[in-house]
Structure 1
Amino acid sequence: MTIIYHMADKTDWQAALETGAYEGTAVDKSDGFIHFSTRETVAESAAKHRAGVENLVLISVDSNILGEDLKWEPARGGILFPHLYGPLDPSLVKDAVSLPLGPDNLHIFPELE
């Protein structure tokens, strides 16, 4: 089992729980896939792309249950990142926890699997 992570706006995530589909952030929609990270890359991704952003929830999913819509593709430095080509069914999400900001405007992450 490989757990992957996505940072979603809490309001968007709540809407997804009600509708049964999460379409991703504005950047995800523009890129054509939902950006996920691994345990090793999620904090760096948050610092690079989401520093200072409030109202986030960290979603964790077992990558093995996402099927063929999940592609591992090279991004910065050739590191493989998981990209989901299609909406995420919230019922597949293992956990969703608040992602608070620390005094340095970086997110405080829970212990990750």
Structure 2
Amino acid sequence: MIYHIVTKADWERQADEAEYEAPSLRTEGFIHLSTKEQVAGVLERYYQNVADLLLLQIDPNKLMHNLRYEAATNNEHFPHLYGKLNKDAVVMVEEIK
């Protein structure tokens, strides 16, 4: 499984859509994803003091767009989705406490 962190408001704004489009898809050309082991670090680096977060658990075998593992600035490889996230690939949505 791979994971995506999203605010509850962003997820709910696209509730009626078959696909989810993260803001990074327009600004960077892909959606940022993480492995299970990377989630805690991503939360610590980018989401401190951000309320109402959700963690999407995604089955990579169900994705309809290109998934690539690419090196980030710390040379750690993160999964990036080059296209919208088809919601039928999301197997679980949970609140981050």
TM-score by length of 2: 0.89
Any stretches of 5+ residues in structure 1 without a counterpart? 101-113
Q: How do 1:24-43 and structure 2 match up within 5 A?
A: 24=22, 26-43=23-40
Shift of 1:28: 4.4
Partner of 1:65: 62
The amino acid across from 1:58 in the alignment is: L
Q: Which of structures 1 and 2 has the bigger CA Rg?
A: 1
> Structure 1 CA distance, aligned partners of 2:17 and 2:65?
23
Runs of 4+ deviating beyond 4 Å: none
* CA RMSD across the alignment: 1.5
Shift of 1:27: 3.8
In the superposition, relative to structure 1, how do residues 88 and 68 fare at CA in structure 2: closer, same or farther (>3 Å)?
closer
The amino acid across from 1:49 in the alignment is: Y
The secondary structure found in structure 2 opposite 1:18 is coil
Establish whether residue 75 from structure 1 lines up as the match of residue 76 from structure 2.
no
TM-score by length of 1: 0.77
Q: Is the 8 A contact 1:17 1:90 kept in 2?
A: no
> Structure 2 CA distance, aligned partners of 1:49 and 1:97?
18
Q: Would you tell me which structure has more strand in proportion to its own residues?
A: 2
Q: Is the 8 A contact 2:69 2:80 kept in 1?
A: yes
> Structure 1 CA distance, aligned partners of 2:66 and 2:21?
13
Match for residue 8 of structure 1 among 6, 23, 32: 6
Shift of 1:55: 1.4
Identity of aligned residues (%): 35
Q: Is the 8 A contact 2:33 2:80 kept in 1?
A: yes
Q: Deviations over 1:48-102 (max 9, x none)?
A: 01111011110011122225511111113321100001101112101001112xx
Shift of 1:16: 2.6
> How many pairs are equivalent?
97
The secondary structure found in structure 2 opposite 1:95 is strand
